[in-house]
């Protein structure tokens, strides 16, 4: 079976060119299964093993939802760890290179608040962070989510394992209800279904089995 090309997607010509420059020619299986619906604005629960290209799947969706002329946080990606948040930030920046001046800010625990507060004062389009620290900023008023259009829960199974459910719930309640929510996970424990039922609107579930 031939893997579908990114050219079949309704992405801007600049993004198509950038994907080519990055050597992203064919979609991975989870990208092919999730991106067409994600680009139509649907909520998605996507399950696929590590290394299957889940980051680009949600990054392309959130970038497509961005209005760069509006300098407000429009996308929030929650990740379980600082290391993963840094990787996601790097991938979004790589994919966003062709777009004009998209500012991505990383907000993780274990990093002094002061620098993050200063960075946030200058504004951002996209925030990537861990649930606890993102919640700290919401409580302080240094982060506002009223312009948010895309909420991503990355590695949702790990976030639940680490006890982040209450923090995720608090953050999700502060997002506008008409946002798009994308949930990515390597496994599908029962807690994920509960999380989805609470925070997602008629999500489409897509699963890619491990390939041999």
Q: How far is the CB of 186 from Mg ion (least distance, A)?
A: 8
Return the range that interacts with Mg ion (CB under 5 A); candidates 48-56, 75-83, 114-122, 138-146: 48-56
Window 56-75: residues binding ligand ADP (CB under 6 A) = 56
123: left (phi over 0), alpha (psi -120 to 50) or beta: left
- The option from ligand ADP, Mg ion, none interacting with 133 (CB < 5 to 8 A, set by class) reads none
Q: Which helix (H) or strand (E) holds 136?
A: helix 131-140
Window 5-34: residues binding ligand ADP (CB under 6 A) = 24, 27-28, 31
Give CA 205 to chain center in angstroms. 16
Q: How far is the CB of 3 from ligand ADP (least distance, A)?
A: 8
How far lies 103's CA from each of 39, 123, 135, 187, in Å? 21, 8, 20, 31
Window 33-52: residues binding ligand ADP (CB under 6 A) = 48, 50-52
Residue 156 near ligand ADP by CB under 6 A = no
Residue 53 near ligand ADP by CB under 6 A = yes
Q: Which of 54, 125, 133, 137 binds ligand ADP (CB under 6 A)?
A: 54
The span from the CA of 40 to the CA of 165, in Å, is 28
Core vs surface per residue 44-66: b (16+ CB within 10 A) or e = bbbbbeeebbbbbbbbbbbbbbb
Pick between residue 81 and residue 142 the one whose CB is nearest to Mg ion: 81
Six-digit token string for 155: 């590695």
**Residue 75 in contact with residue 152, Cβ under 8 Å?**
yes
Return the range that interacts with Mg ion (CB under 5 A); candidates 10-18, 50-58, 129-137, 196-204: 50-58
Pick between residue 102 and residue 135 the one whose CB is nearest to ligand ADP: 102
Provide the 3-class DSSP secondary structure of residue 76. Answer: strand
The span from the CA of 63 to the CA of 182, in Å, is 13
Residue 54 near Mg ion by CB under 5 A = yes
Pick between residue 88 and residue 143 the one whose CB is nearest to ligand ADP: 88
| Site residues for ligand ADP per CB under 6 A | 24, 27-28, 31, 48, 50-56
Q: Which residues bind Mg ion (CB under 5 A)?
A: 54
């Amino acid at each position: 079976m031939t893997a579908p090309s990114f050219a079949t997607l309704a992405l801007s010509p600049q993004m198509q060119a950038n994907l080519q420059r990055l050597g992203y020619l064919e979609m991975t299986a989870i990208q092919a299964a999730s991106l067409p619906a994600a680009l139509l604005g649907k909520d998605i629960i996507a399950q696929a093993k590590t290394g299957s290209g889940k980051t680009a799947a949600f990054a392309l969706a959130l970038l497509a939802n961005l209005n760069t002329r509006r300098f407000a946080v429009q996308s929030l990606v929650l990740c379980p760890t600082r290391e993963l948040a840094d990787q996601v930030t790097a991938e979004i920046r790589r994919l966003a290179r062709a777009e004009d001046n998209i500012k991505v800010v990383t907000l993780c625990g274990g990093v002094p608040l002061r620098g993050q507060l200063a960075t946030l004062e200058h504004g951002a389009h996209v925030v990537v962070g861990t649930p606890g620290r993102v919640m700290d900023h919401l409580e302080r008023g240094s982060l506002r989510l009223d312009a948010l259009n895309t909420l991503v829960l990355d590695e949702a199974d790990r976030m639940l394992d680490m006890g982040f459910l209450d923090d995720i719930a608090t953050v999700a309640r502060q997002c506008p209800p008409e946002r798009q929510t994308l949930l990515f996970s390597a496994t599908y424990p029962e807690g994920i279904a509960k999380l989805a039922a609470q925070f997602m609107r008629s999500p489409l579930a897509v699963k890619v089995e491990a390939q041999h």
